[in-house]
Chains A and B, each alone.
Chain A
């Protein structure tokens, strides 16, 4: 589904990501872990073109992804969330999701009509019901709690209809009740056929949902294996406890 070859990025003299290669299978949930500063978010940015790659190739569904603008990838089917939540606080929850749903702005004239709102309302309600947020439909997104905002951001990514979803720390700062909803949501996405790559620090959570785990250290690939194996791998333990 997603194949990364020798991804590299340097900032000044420091290699944030160096010859990073891996492959993930379709309809799998793959976790991405590593100590702080390992380069996980940078890798996300490089894959999704939010940061230009120095070297390396990205293949999505066998197709080579060019180093073009980030927004174009969404149409191809790749979408992501951010480490610090990026929702639209002044727009309503409904509008946050609406925005993610319509892609047809190649024809700008469509943007001036109000054609899409009613068509999508059903789908929006469906999404919101999954996470018990339906009553916030017309609420300004800025009024949501932290956990609710996180859910919204994930829903927004789902709304784009992307097949490959990259989540950056979806469990961070979320209370246990919310966490269960997030877990349910993510597993539900797998059931619907989506492929996920998830950065996380919350090990129990991540191990519980992942089919495979990739470990990064100092910008480099360390290993990729089943969760139980990775947890016991001495190299991994050393990376986290050492240096």
Chain B
């Protein structure tokens, strides 16, 4: 029983990091990036490949995952950040779809649809940290809290201020002398790097990875978490994640018959999104930071 609770905590904390990373580019800067899941998947695959093929461990993988995802975002940003909102949305969505195809077909790199199995758990000075153990929970929480702390610093820095200004009016930001292209690029790169770290955490937890990590339904849940919490709202992203996960687990526990759990979950998510849009579109948890 306790292990199940641990697993919920671990999954929730990974999602929190992923949502917060998305909150940076989508929420704070207002980049209409619908393909954020790519960075998560690239981080996950980087860790999986480096571990199973070259024996690279969990801790170095955190850095590698961040670097590879970030580098990919830099390249991706060069191609797409000059596009305006709607086009950016379509381009990023298309990229997410392509990612699935690439992961499935670049078999020599990713083992294709068969997936990569046998990924190792984190090792700390010779001791293996088992998934769903207390040590693992602690490790995850430390990493996630630390990353969130860094993101918090970023949100509240002059860099963060530029991002918020870009979200308001990018042309005006250029008019006060800022290189908005570089600013947006860095927002995307940092956002991707943290998503990559989340992907690495996932890989070394689930220990099996296949192209389904790029699946589009996950992107919708991610958007839901950030929008419900309040775009650009740091605390909101965390609370939004927890709320969405709890609502997702409800049908299973209220004892709905198995074959409609999936549909019920989707209905609840839809209701949550519509409810948020109608009653409080700036996010359900924004009152925590507004001065009332």
Contact = CB atoms under 8 A, between A and B. Distances in A.
A and B touch in the complex (CB under 8 A): yes
A91 B178 CA distance: 16
Interface string B166-202: 0111011111111110100010000000000000000
Contact of B174 (A69, A90, A103, A108): A69
B162 A111 contact: yes
Interface of A: 48, 50, 69-75, 79-82, 86-91, 95, 98-100, 102-103, 105, 108, 110-114, 116, 156, 160
A95 B154 CA distance: 16
A108 B186 contact: yes
Contacts of A105: 162, 178-179, 182
Given A88-B164, A90-B168, A111 B158 contact: yes
A102 B177 CA distance: 9
A189 to B, nearest CB: 17
Given A111-B157, A113-B157, A86 B169 contact: yes
B172 A71 contact: no
Contacts of B172: 82, 86-88
Contacts of A48: 175
B175 A74 contact: yes
B29 to A, nearest CB: 12
A62 B91 CA distance: 44
B159 interface: yes
A50 B177 CA distance: 12
A116 B159 CA distance: 12
B165 interface: yes
Nearest to B163: A111
B153 interface: yes
Contact of A111 (B159, B164, B168): B159
A29 B292 CA distance: 44
B280 interface: no
Interface in B234-266: none
A71 B157 contact: no
A16 to B, nearest CB: 19
A86 B171 contact: yes
Contacts of A114: 156-158
B175 A86 contact: yes
B115 to A, nearest CB: 38
A199 to B, nearest CB: 15
Contacts of A90: 164, 167-168
Nearest to B166: A88
A89 B168 CA distance: 7
Given A88-B172, A91-B168, A71 B161 contact: no
Contacts of B157: 111-114
B159 A71 contact: no
Given A71-B173, A86-B172, 11 more contacts: A71-B180, A82-B171, A86-B171, A87-B169, A88-B164, A91-B164, A98-B158, A98-B161, A110-B158, A112-B157, A113-B157
A88 B168 contact: yes
Given A110-B158, A111-B159, A100 B164 contact: no
Contacts of A103: 177
Given A88-B169, A108-B159, A160 B176 contact: yes
B102 to A, nearest CB: 31
A90 B186 CA distance: 21
A70 B157 CA distance: 24
Nearest to A76: B177
